[in-house]
Amino acid sequence: MDFSDFGLHPDILDGIEVMKYPSPTPIQAQAIPLILEGKDMIGTAQTGTGKTAAFVLPILHHILTSGEANYTQALVIVPTRELAAQIDQVIEAYSYYTGVSSIAIYGGGDGKEFAREKNALTEGVDIVIATPGRLIAHLNMGYVNFTRLRFLILDEADRMLDMGFMPDLTKIIDKINPKRQSLLFSATMPQGVLKLAKTLLQDPEMVKIAVSKPAENVTQSAFIVSEGHKLALITELLGDKKGQRIIVFGSTKRSVSALYQKLRAKGLSVGMVSSDIEQEMREQVMLDYRNSKVDILVATDVLSRGIDVDGIDIVINYDVPNDAEDYVHRIGRTARAARKGAAVTLVSPTDMSRFRRIEAFLGKEIPKQTLPPGYSTGAGEPTERHRNDGKQRRPPQGKSSGGRSQNPARREQPRNENNRPGKPANAVSTPQNTTAQPSGATAAAGSSETNKKHRRNRGNRGKRTGTPPPIQGDMQ
């Protein structure tokens, strides 16, 4: 089977041919015909399976063949800014020869960005990709009209529910055309997602792609270590990894902030990404990381799905993830494209039940490494050998060696994305080359602006010449 078998519009096939995607992935092969037939659908698939194109391609086809314009026809709701920007980039690539327009709408920008979003919403951009909080801000202003909306897509629905977006989703759904076609995609299918699907979809078809196990070329291991020794242990583990590209995942903004401060105080090349950091700064951190100006990236699960950086050598789970699927997503950032990689998990006694569930899901035991001298699997502070320079006591978790963390723990507030706190001081290294070409997350964030620059009159769609922009990572 190839993409021409679906009967897609020739202009879409031109874009696919230029990007050299020879055949559809399993979820594309199953989902595209259903969406073309106008059916509601639930898709269960993880990042990297091609699910973005599974809904983008048939929606582009419907928009092109309808002959309609000057109103928003499709709305894609996603949990994070990064995913919104990347989906917009995918749409730009596939629609390069079609004239279909799109825009990514998410918090963190300035007043000019908000005004640009407002202008697109009032003019009737074809496809909107939005995070819930930012879209609610526009809806509350009274100028958004989704009464003719034809397609609603919820991507990573399980993550949105985990982040507390259900009230926002309810408000948004109440404002849109009830006769639209609805699609829901989720990596997992907990009861909350099933309940949402029941209220959102009409006689949906089910497409399920099994969660892949980690690649065989990922070397997995774990340390059983007391919670009080984690910071000292990870500092020691990273001390001889200069020049390697590493991601360290923490489950909360508090643990990520404390870890970032600790590693930075040790003179390591480290950046931090969490929802507390302003979008511009997050993009700069990602640019520095992709360009190897930063070796270690400390992040929450905001980066565990949909973000791809080539050549990641090691993934470290500073905190054990809450479920096995998240573990697979995290360690899937390494060992991509047949490369080798390593994944290390720090497991405290309170993490053991979650860690055993992960092993049960994998169907094998993850090898345990021997702790270095001076560390314990039980409670207690690090020995004198692991205190700062052998002089000061190790600061309590959540504080830097200079006193209180500059980003103290706060309750997660994902819905308040229009009024995020600023980034912690020194959270981003100063760029050494201000003329560096944007790539990765920065390029993705700019893709919607590029799309507008080349937008065709939607009443007279025309082909472009040249080559579509490349799609970053695994977002096919």
**How far apart are the C-alpha atoms of 372 and 219, rounded to whole Å?**
20
- For 458: left if phi > 0, alpha if psi spans -120 to 50, otherwise beta; the answer is alpha
Task: Label the pairing between strands 102-105 and 296-299.
Answer: unpaired
Residue from 46, 30, 128, 147 nearest 87 by CA: 128
Query: CB-based contacts of 453: which residues, under 8 Å, 6+ apart?
Result: none
Fold of domain 218-404? Rossmann fold (3.40.50)
Residue 430, SS3 per DSSP: coil
User: What integer pLDDT is reported at residue 306 of this predicted model?
Assistant: 52
Residue from 206, 142, 134 nearest 165 by CA: 134
Query: CB-based contacts of 240: which residues, under 8 Å, 6+ apart?
Result: none
**How far apart are the C-alpha atoms of 163 and 245, rounded to whole Å?**
28
Judge whether 391 and 233 are in contact, CB under 8 Å: no
Judge whether 99 and 456 are in contact, CB under 8 Å: yes
Answer whether CATH 3.40.50.300 is correct for domain 3-211+439-453: yes
The DSSP result for 344-386, as a single string, is EEEE-GGGHHHHHHHHHHHTSPPPBPPPPTT--SSSSPPPGGG
Query: CB-based contacts of 94: which residues, under 8 Å, 6+ apart?
Result: 12, 15, 16, 19, 53, 56, 57, 60, 468
Judge whether 183 and 39 are in contact, CB under 8 Å: no
> Would 3-211+439-453 and 218-404 be classified into the same CATH topology?
yes
Give the distance, in angstroms, between the CA of residue 381 and the centroid of all CA atoms in the same chain.
Answer: 35
The full set of domain ranges for the chain reads 3-211+439-453, 218-404
Reported as half-sphere exposure (CB side, CA atoms, 13 A), residue 392 has a value of 9
Distances (CA, A) of 149 to 69, 234, 242: 12, 50, 51
User: What integer pLDDT is reported at residue 23 of this predicted model?
Assistant: 87
Low-confidence ranges of the chain (pLDDT < 50): 379-461, 473-475
40, two tokens: 């509601």
Burial 132-155 (b: 16+ CB within 10 A, else e): bbbbbbbbeeeebbbeebbbbbbb
User: What integer pLDDT is reported at residue 309 of this predicted model?
Assistant: 73
**How far apart are the C-alpha atoms of 46 and 475, rounded to whole Å?**
11
**How far apart are the C-alpha atoms of 328 and 28, rounded to whole Å?**
21
Residue given tokens 């959270």 in the structure block: 427
